[in-house]
Structure 1
Amino acid sequence: MDSAYQDNATRELACGLGFVPVVPPNPRRRQPWEYDKPLYRRRNGIERLFRRLKAWRRVFTRYDKLDLMYAAFVTVALIAEALR
């Protein structure tokens, strides 16, 4: 769930499917809800990691034909990002 989808119907649907929405409410919202700030911080870190992985053109366009080679290059990209 993203901040663009923060209406009540979407939140109820996500909760009904067993998901825990961790999106902060819009500051101008009349009835803001509570959210888990440490969990949102972790979610934000994971989203940033995926954004950095997409910067690797080979990962983003999936040049490799074999799943094993693709997974190996994703591992190399993760190691390079961790060393950065």
Structure 2
Amino acid sequence: MDALGNLIRFLLLPGQAHDMKGVAPLIRNVSFGALLADKAFDADWLLEELGARGAIAVIPLKTNRKYQRDYDADAYKWRHLVENYFAKIKEFRGIATRYDKTDCSYAANWNLVAALIASR
């Protein structure tokens, strides 16, 4: 998602895969100043990658993290744009319940729905 909450890229993962598996391919060759994510994305390798890129990690800490670090709680409040986008996606029942039988048709419908939402 961009700073305005618009979809710019997505990646289909197997249903049982953790979202962290999709982060590296999604951020590859994309320039950004900050990454807003929830606690599930509080991983050392991702924080190091963002630091190497000069991007700010706006990710709350997991409760079991040994070493505490700071994050911008005010900037994290903008993460609601991501949740709002998923709420818009749920208006399209076929996407929300994944009616499509193949990955190809599901990805095509995601592109169609993203275009419809962007045109509003």
TM range (shorter): 0.5 to 0.7
Quick one: distance in 1 between partners of 2:110 and 2:67?
44
Hey, what does 1:57 align to over in structure 2? 92
Runs (5+) with no aligned partner, structure 2 = 1-36, 96-108
Tell me the TM-score normalized by structure 2: 0.46
1:18 aligns with one of 40, 54, 62? 54
Once superposed, what is the RMSD of the aligned Cα atoms? 2.5
- State the structure with more CA Rg: 1
Shift of 1:62: 4.8
| 1:23/1:62 CA distance change after superposition, 3 Å | closer
Runs (5+) with no aligned partner, structure 1 = 65-69, 77-84
Comparing both chains, which one has the higher relative contact order based on Cα–Cα distances under 8 Å and sequence gaps of 6 or more?
2
Tell me the TM-score normalized by structure 1: 0.62
Runs (4+) off by over 3 Å: none
Hey, what does 1:81 align to over in structure 2? none
Hey, what does 1:4 align to over in structure 2? 40
**Sequence identity percentage:** 19
Give the number of equivalent residue pairs: 68
